[in-house]
Every structure is written in structure tokens, then in C-alpha cells.
Amino acid sequence: MFDVQHWLESLPPIAVYLLVGGVIGVESMGVPLPGEIVLVSSALLAATGVVEPQWVATAAATGAIVGDSIGYAVGRRGGRPLLARLGRRFPRHLGPAQIARAEQSFAKYGVWAVFFGRFVALLRILAGPLAGALHVPYRRFLVANAAGGLVWAFGTTYLLFTVGRAAEHWLKDISWAGLVLAVLAGLGSTWWLRRRAHRLESAEPTQDPGKPVAAGSEH
């Protein structure tokens, strides 16, 4: 993730926003991409002031809502044969077992699976195409999709932005104090080791080389 963040630092802000929206949008269509990694990296990048958090969140929410809607349309038109083709192409992420678990979530939670699926890696990829293939009413899907996309995008971005800013401020404030404490700790440990060595040295019995060793003293 840190390699992604360093790579994003080399891009202009507008390119970062477009990348966030594009990767999350394509992922939401049903193609396994690291959308969450890109969002997390961009949110942490916003904490350093390189990009603006509101635009990162807006790009992520837009990509999520639009991508899910496109995935819904594709899934509704392609149906289960489309899911089978996706499973053959991406067996690790969209194999029969993964699709079966996603279908169970839809059967159990209904349209709420779309909302909460935004926070789960597997359902985040499958929510749109699977809802379309299962003929979930689009209006209900859109409401859950938009709500989940907004909460996920803005919540994740501002949570990580706040944590990043707090960590940066905290580390900045304690930098000199930490250096002083490290030096004092090093001096203190050196003093203690030297004192310990002197005590051990003074506690060793001295043997007069001219005095014979008493019988029975050797082991």
C-alpha cells in the first residue's frame, strides 16, 4: 500500500481524483481491482496536504455509485451466464463458492446486502452485477447503492484523513522530546551496565599468587 501511496504522490491532484473514481468504478462493475487500497492510500495522502479529502471522497463515491449502476445493467442483461463467465475468468475472486456466498447474502438481507456489501471486499465487486442478474428492482438498488457508496467513501476518507493528521501532528510534537529521551535512555543504560560490571569485578575473590591453594578447595 505504501508503494501505491508513493506512486500517487508523483501524480497531479486531478489525476489522483480520476484514478480513485476510475479504479473504484471498474471494481464496482464486477472486475477485481484494488479499489479500497487506492482509496486508503489517497486518504492518507490527503492527510499530508497533497490532495483534498473532499474531492477524494467525492471521486470514490461517484465511482462506486456509477460503477455499481453499470454493473447492475450488465448483470441484468447478461444474467447468470455472465456470472458464470466472470467466475471462469476470475476463479479466485468470482468462483462458484464466492458467488454462492454472495447469493446467500442477497437472499438473507435483500437490498441491504447492497448497502453493507460496500464494506465487504467480495460483495463490493459482485453487488451490482449480482443484483442485476437476480432482477432486484432498480430503484431499491439505487437507494441502497447510493447510501452505501456515500457512507463508505466519505466515512473511510475522513476517518483515515483525521487519523493521519493526528498522527502527523503527534509525531511532529514529540520529535525533539523523543530524541532527548532516546539519548537519556542510552546514557542511562550505559551507566547502569558499567556500574554492574564494576560491582561484579569487585565481588570476585582475589587470590594471592604466592599462597598455596588449600586442599579440597579445587573442584
Longest dimension (CA), the chain: 105
The share of the chain scoring above pLDDT 70, in percent, equals 73
The model's pLDDT over 139-156, given as tens digits with 9 standing for 90+, comes to 999 999 999 999 999 999
Q: Residues 154-165, buried b or exposed e (16+ Cβ, 10 A)?
A: bebbbebbeebb
CA distance 203 to 80: 84
pLDDT of the residue at 164: 78
pLDDT of the residue at 95: 76
pTM above 0.85, yes or no: no
Check pLDDT > 80 for residue 173: no
Check pLDDT > 60 for residue 181: no
pLDDT of the residue at 179: 44
The model's pLDDT over 16-71, given as tens digits with 9 standing for 90+, comes to 999 999 999 999 998 888 888 899 889 888 988 889 999 999 999 999 999 999 99
pLDDT of the residue at 106: 81
Place 104 in a pLDDT band, splitting at 50, 70 and 90. Answer: confident
DSSP of the chain: -HHHHHHHHTS-HHHHHHHHHHHHHHHHTT----HHHHHHHHHHHHHTTSS-HHHHHHHHHHHHHHHHHHHHHHHHHHHHHHHHHHHHHSHHHHSHHHHHHHHHHHHHHTTHHHHHHTTSHHHHHHHHHHHHHTT--HHHHHHHHHHHHHHHHHHHHHHHHHHHHHHHHHHHHTHHHHHHHHHHHHHHHHHHHHHHHHHHHHHSPP--TTSPPPTT---
Check pLDDT > 80 for residue 90: no
